[in-house]
Amino acid sequence: MNNLHIFVRSLVVLSVLLFCSSLFSADITPEQELLDTLEEVVVSDTRIRFVESQNSVAKTTLFSKQLSQQQRLTPKDVSAVVPNLYIPDYGSSMTSTIYLRGLGTRIDQPVMGLYIDGVGIANKNSFDADFLDVRSLAVYRGPQGSLFGKNTIGGVMSITTISPFDFQGFKLKAGYANHNVVVGKLSYYALIKDNIGLSIAGAYRHSDGFFVNQYDNKRVDWHHSGDVHLKFEHRVDSTFTYSHLAYLNLLWQGGFPYHLQDEPVNHNDFCGYKRQNLLYAFTLNKQTKHLIIGSTLSYQLLFDRMDMDNDHLPQSYFTLSQQQKEHSVREELTLKPKKEKEHWNWLTGASIGFTHNDMHAPVTFLEQGIDSLILKNANNGIQTMFPNWRLKFSESQFPIDSRFHTNTIEAAVYHTSYFNVGNWQFEAGLRLEADKKYFDYNSTANIHFSLLDTDKNTTIGNGQIPVTTQLKGTASLLSLEVLPRVAVSYHKNILTLFASASAGYHAGGFNTQLFSDLMRKQMQNDLMENMHLHPTDNKNDVKSVIIYKPEHCLTSELGMRLHKQWQESNLTSELVLFETELFNQQQTVFPEKSTGRMMTNAGRSRSFGAELSLNFNYKQLSLFASYGYTNARFIKYQSAQNDYKNKRIPYIPLNTLAVGATYSFDLKHNFFQFLRINANTTAVGKIFWNEQNDVSQPFYALLNANLEFQTKYFTLALWGKNLTCTKYNVFYFESIGNRFLQSGKPVSFGVEIRAEI
């Protein structure tokens, strides 16, 4: 019995015991609503508080009640609820491909920063994790580079979890859904003293999976994950607070249920993902006579391993394994005036960080892969000159073994000032950032070959000739960036108008996934050389393809925000128009006849669009609507074969839509107190899947619903997702001449119980 099973069984037993004991306790209450607020003591990061307070930032904020009612459990689940945000649920939890306002790439760096309790998550592979006791989630749309630096050209998502100063006691949740989904959560919050708070939270989720692999008739996307959060907060006095945060996430899952069009998932090699994530942060806020000093020192450790049947077919072409270990250390320092002045306020900061990443990524060529991807090309070349010659390998499979080491050093300073003149606010900010990456690579492959004369049925020369292929070297990339932002807003009564212009950048990097193709080409060259045949096309310019440069954007926005309260009603709405120019655009391509994918700086693109959000509350009725439109096209993108000018950028949805309503019935019963009904729909599309725009996913909508009985002691919820059984695809790609898709999740429904003690 492994540790994970012990943890799960303990959690279940504890939950049951607590639940049973709760029935005999007079202090059990259903889940209470925390104040939906983002006060200074709640949000620890000064920059987040600053952005939140600004009138000129387009933002969407969701609170725990809405997330819980609508079963939004991970960052992927807030797609479309935030206008123009699309995080498709495909692949595995390693895949957090974020598209926001026409910006996004499938591999390496994200376009949106993720902050949890003020700590920036260093690696995108860690983004997809279950929410645990989230108090609020806010997405600040548009480039946030002037404050947050690289990889925030689309925006920043900030998650704030519950503090022991907000709530004391136990929080409990247990749930079950179809496909054998089991969730359990137990949290304990306490005030050790009036000014010292401690919380421990743990959660577990299991799923049998939604998709069956026809090859072995087993579900391919099963899931186990566990999370533990620890918080220690000390409000020493009115001038000094500090906290320790520690988050641990363990995950093991199957994944990558890709399939050919109109065919089921069918592959013969294992696909899965394992991850261990540890985050530790020490944050402090100190008020001096004139200043407030904020500091966040964090350390993050990521171990993960991905295994994939890389041909996604029942044949044995090749498999990929990618293991990485990453250490990341970062210090963020902020300064701001203690007393806000009438006309001029400011925020200044600095940050420094270091990341070390070791990656081991062997690609194993299997029998059919050797025949069709290596020998076929080699023999075609040989037989143009010598029709009766045939090349043969001794090995039925062999690895191309690649090891990469990447060190990144980053440093930045920034300043933002804002000036208040009557109802007007003017903002100007600038960030100077340096990012230096060092990369070294070492790929090797060893095979034995023989050359046959098929006419004479003899071996030419000596049989079993060894060939060793190696690509070894270093590369580096330096980015020096200047990221400005200017904004103006006008606020009076219920109306706010704003306009802004800001710059951002999306870091460059190295195409580690291309090395199997580079090695394959080098192996072919080396094989031919060993046969005294010299291919005329033997160029293998590693350095020209392994580096991709940063992309830069300039975004302009015009916006309007309305907040009206009258009698028992409350209306907030936001309308934003934006235009983004993207330079040196990073585009993920699948090179022709390739086994992998690479990032290339494609050219230039432009996206423009609109975002509309509405929230309306009237007595027991709550309505929300969120709509995003993005028109994103290439201005300049020429590959060797095609010109994609004016084509729509693939994977970016034209529209996102989320609409929902909740109605609460006061049952006026001693036990059954409230009944809440929520129905909502999320819709996305049209999505073009490739640069040619000849393959697409039409607009589709998913209907979800939730029925909650709030009793005297607990809340019982029945929920359903995709209740109309909509069939849709969430991902498409081409590999070795085949077109693959991943289907969206089918209908799911479940029940959960939540309680507080």
Residues binding other proteins (CB under 8 A)? 381-382, 384-386, 451, 460-462, 465, 528, 530-537
- The least CB distance from residue 471 to other proteins, in Å, is 21
Give the nearer residue to other proteins in terms of CB position, either 446 or 664.
446
CB of 392 to other proteins, least distance (A): 12
364 C-beta neighbours (distance < 10 Å), count: 19
CA distance 469 to 520: 9
Residue 60 in 3-state DSSP? strand
CA 113 to CA 140: how far, in whole Å?
10
Q: How far apart are CA 647 and CA 696, in angstroms?
A: 13
Nearer to other proteins, 327 or 448 (CB): 448
Residues forming a β-bridge with 272: 254, 307
**Rounded to 5 degrees, what are φ and ψ at 125?**
-65, -15
> Minimum distance between the CB of residue 533 and other proteins, rounded to whole angstroms?
4
| Nearest distance from C-beta of residue 460 to other proteins, angstroms | 5
Angle between helices 376-385 and 515-530 (to 10 degrees): 30
Strands 748-756 and 714-721: antiparallel
3-state secondary structure 623-657: EEEEEEEEEEEEEEEECCCCECCCCECCCCCCEEE
| Closer of 523 and 576 to other proteins (Cβ) | 523
Residue pair 653/622 in contact by the 8 Å Cβ criterion: no
> How open is the CA angle 45-628-64, to the nearest 5 degrees?
45
C-beta of 458: minimal distance to other proteins in Å?
A: 11
Name the pairing type of β-strands 291-309 and 318-337: antiparallel
- If the CB atoms of residues 314 and 381 are measured against other proteins, the closer one turns out to be 381
Chain centroid, CA 465 distance in Å? 47
Nearest approach, Cβ of 539 to other proteins (angstroms)? 14
Q: Which is nearer to other proteins, 466 or 473 (CB)?
A: 466
**Going by C-beta distance under 8 Å and a sequence separation of 6 or more, which residues neighbour residue 716?**
708, 709, 751, 752, 753
Least distance between other proteins and beta carbon 534 (Å): 4
Nearer to other proteins, 385 or 725 (CB): 385
- Closer Cβ to other proteins, 320 or 373, answer by number: 373
Contacts of 54 (CB under 8 A, 6+ apart): 418, 425, 427, 487, 489
Which is nearer to other proteins, 134 or 378 (by Cβ)? Answer: 378
Q: Which is nearer to other proteins, 264 or 461 (CB)?
A: 461
- Tell me 371's DSSP state: I
User: Strand 569-589 relative to strand 598-618: parallel, antiparallel, unpaired?
Assistant: antiparallel
Cross-strand bridge partners of residue 459: 452
Q: How many other β-carbons are positioned within 10 Å of the β-carbon of residue 625? A: 17
Angle at 654 between CA 648 and CA 656, to 5 degrees: 155
Nearer to other proteins, 165 or 386 (CB): 386
Return the closest-CA partner of residue 139 out of 103, 102, 112.
Answer: 112
Residue with smaller CB distance to other proteins, 534 or 668: 534
> With respect to other proteins, which residue has the nearer C-beta, 314 or 535?
535
Q: How far is the CB of 391 from other proteins (least distance, A)?
A: 10
* Minimum distance of other proteins from residue 380's CB (angstroms): 8
Closer CB to other proteins, 388 or 724, in the complex? 388
Q: How far is the CB of 443 from other proteins (least distance, A)?
A: 24
CA-closest candidate to residue 307, choices 271, 275, 274, 361: 271
State the amino acid at position 722 in one-letter form: N
**In the complex, minimum distance from the CB of residue 463 to other proteins, in angstroms, rounded to a whole number:** 9
Closest contact distance (angstroms) between CB of 326 and other proteins is: 43
CA quadruple 178, 622, 39, 657: dihedral sign: positive
Separation CA 265–CA 741 (nearest Å): 9
CB 127 within 8 A of CB 114: yes
Tell me the closest approach of the beta carbon of residue 382 to other proteins, in angstroms. Answer: 7
- How many Å apart are CA 165 and CA 349, to the nearest integer? 27
Residues 141 and 165: beta-carbon distance below 8 Å: no
